[in-house]
Amino acid sequence: MSRNEEQARDEHFWQGVAARYDVEPGPINLENGYFGRMTRSVVAAYQGHIEFINRSNSVHVRQRFDSLESLEIRAQLADLLGTYPESVALTRCASDSLHALIRNYNALRPGDQLLVSDQEYPSVLGAMRWLARNRGVELIEISHPFPVSFDSLVTTYQEAFERYPRLKLMALTYVTHRSGLVMPVQAIASAAREHGIDVILDGAHALGQIDFNLEALGILFAGFNLQKWMGAPLSLGFLYIDPKRLADIDPDMGEERYPLDDIRARAPYGTPNIPAWMTLPLVIEEHRALGGSAAKGARLNYLRDLWVSEARRMPGIEVLTPDDPRLYCGITSLRFRHEPDQQRMVDRLLADYNLFTVTRDGTAHGNCIRVTPGLANSAQDLKVLVRALGELSG
Ligand SMILES: Cc1ncc(COP(=O)(O)O)c(C=O)c1O
C-alpha cells in the first residue's frame, strides 16, 4: 500500500482536514462534484482581497496585478501542470476554456469530420455541434458500450478512427461528469495521434484529484477549472495549448490586446475576478501541503471504495462505474435496478437518510444517481449511504 493510500484511511488525519472547512448544518453532502468548498483560510484570504481591491481599485490592478501578479499566477498554474507559463492562459471556467479552443480551432478543411462520445459534458457537446454547423463539417457522435472496460473504451475510439478516416478533431473528457469514469486518455490520445486527429481534453473534473502530466498524456489542447477539486474561489479556469500548436487556435473574437504569438490572445476577453485570482497562490500552497492531487485523490478513492464495495453486492443496486483502478476516481454513479425514476430515490435518500445526492442523465444508457464525496466527508458518512442503499434496494 502506498503512503497516500495509507494516509487515505487515517480518519483522524482527515478529521483534521475536514475541520479546515466551515460546513452549514444540513444534509450530508455527497454532491461535491458541482464545486468544491474553500478552506476557512482561503475564504478569509479571498474576503481580504475583495476588500483590498475594492479600496485600491484600478491602482493596484493596473500597477501590479495586470503586469506582475497575473504572470506569477500563470507561472504557478503552469507549474501545477508541469509545463511552461507560455502554454497557459487564464479564463473564467472550464467551459470558457473549452469553448475558446473549440470555436477558434482553425485547422479544419472542407470534408473534415469531428468526433464526440456520449460521455462529453453538455456544453462541450453543444460547442462541437456548433463548430460542425458553422464550419460545414460533419460531427460523428459515438456511444460507448455498457459496461465499459479499459480495452472497450480504447477500442471504441480505435474503431471510430478507422471507420471515419476524415476525422480531424475530437473532444475527450478526462473524468466524465455523469459517472466519474476516468478515460484512458494517454492510450486514446496516442491512437488519435496515429490517425492525425487532434484532441481537446476536458480536464474539468481531473485537476486536483488526479495526478497527471499533459505531456506524458500526449495532450496538446486542454481546458480546466479551479473551483472543483482545487477548492479555489468560483470563476477561475485556464486553458492549455502546446506552444508548438498555438497557430492552430485563432485569437478569440474581440481579443486584440496581445500579439499573435501570445497564448493570452486565445482566452475570452473580460475583466477577471481579480480578488479570486489573488487568492489562488494560497489555494495552490494548501493543495501542495496536503500532498497534492495524489493524496487528495487517494482519499476520495478510499471514500468511494467504502460504499462501492458494499453496493456491488446488493442485487437491487447497479454501480455504473467500473472498479478498474485506472478508470475511476472519487465520483461514482449507481442505479436502483427496479426503479424507473431515479430522482424519486434521490428524494428518498434526502428525506429518509439526510443524504444529498444528484441525478445525472444523458448517456445512451439512461439516468443515474451520482455520489461524490468531498474532503469534508468522513468514512461514517459513507456508512450512512451503505445502510440507505441496502434498505432502499432491499
Ligand atoms: C466534465 C465537465 N466538463 C466541463 C464542466 C464545466 O465546468 P465549468 O463549470 O468550470 O465551466 C463540468 C462542470 O461540471 C464538467 O463536469
The alpha carbon of 52 and the centre of ligand 1 are apart by a number of angstroms equal to 30
Distances (CA, A) of 341 to 93, 335, 344, 371: 32, 10, 6, 17
Query: Which of 123, 175, 207 for a ligand 1 pocket mutation test, highest count of atoms within 8 Å of Cβ?
Result: 123
Q: Which three cell numbers stand for residue 331?
A: 465520483
In a domain, 240, yes or no: yes
pLDDT of residue 361: 85
Measure CA of the first residue to CA of the last residue in the chain; give whole Å.
Answer: 34
Q: Residue 270, Cβ neighbours under 10 Å: how many? A: 11
pLDDT of residue 366: 74
In a domain, 42, yes or no: no
Contact 233, 46 (CB under 8 A): yes
Distances (CA, A) of 24 to 37, 58, 348: 11, 35, 21
Q: Looking at the structure, do residues 178 and 276 belong to the same domain, yes or no?
A: yes
Contact 393, 316 (CB under 8 A): yes
* Neighbouring residues of 208: CB distance < 8 A, sequence distance ≥ 6: 36, 226, 228, 229, 230, 231, 287, 293, 296
Range of the domain at 72: 47-286
Q: Looking at the structure, do residues 380 and 281 belong to the same domain, yes or no?
A: no
Q: Residue 170, Cβ neighbours under 10 Å: how many? A: 26
Q: Looking at the structure, do residues 65 and 209 belong to the same domain, yes or no?
A: yes
Domain count, the chain: 2
Write out the chain's pLDDT in tens, 394 residues.
899 999 999 999 999 999 999 999 999 999 999 999 999 999 999 999 999 999 999 999 999 999 999 999 999 999 999 999 999 999 999 999 999 999 999 999 999 999 999 999 999 999 999 999 999 999 999 999 989 999 999 999 999 999 999 999 999 999 999 999 999 999 999 999 999 999 999 999 999 999 999 999 999 999 999 999 999 999 999 999 999 999 999 999 988 999 999 999 999 999 999 999 999 999 999 999 999 999 999 999 999 999 999 999 999 999 999 999 999 999 999 999 999 999 999 999 999 999 999 999 865 567 899 999 999 999 999 999 999 999 999 8
Virtual torsion, Cα 148, 150, 156, 160, nearest 10 deg = 150
Q: Looking at the structure, do residues 237 and 164 belong to the same domain, yes or no?
A: yes
Atom of ligand 1 nearest to the CA of 173: 1
Q: Looking at the structure, do residues 306 and 334 belong to the same domain, yes or no?
A: yes
pLDDT of residue 394: 85
Q: What is the distance between the alpha carbons of residues 116 and 119, in angstroms, rounded to a whole number?
A: 8
Q: Which three cell numbers stand for residue 70?
A: 497575473
In a domain, 281, yes or no: yes
Residue nearest to atom 16 of ligand 1 (CA): 177
Contact 76, 86 (CB under 8 A): no
Q: Looking at the structure, do residues 263 and 377 belong to the same domain, yes or no?
A: no
Nearest to 213 by CA among 231, 240, 232: 240
The alpha carbon of 263 and the centre of ligand 1 are apart by a number of angstroms equal to 22
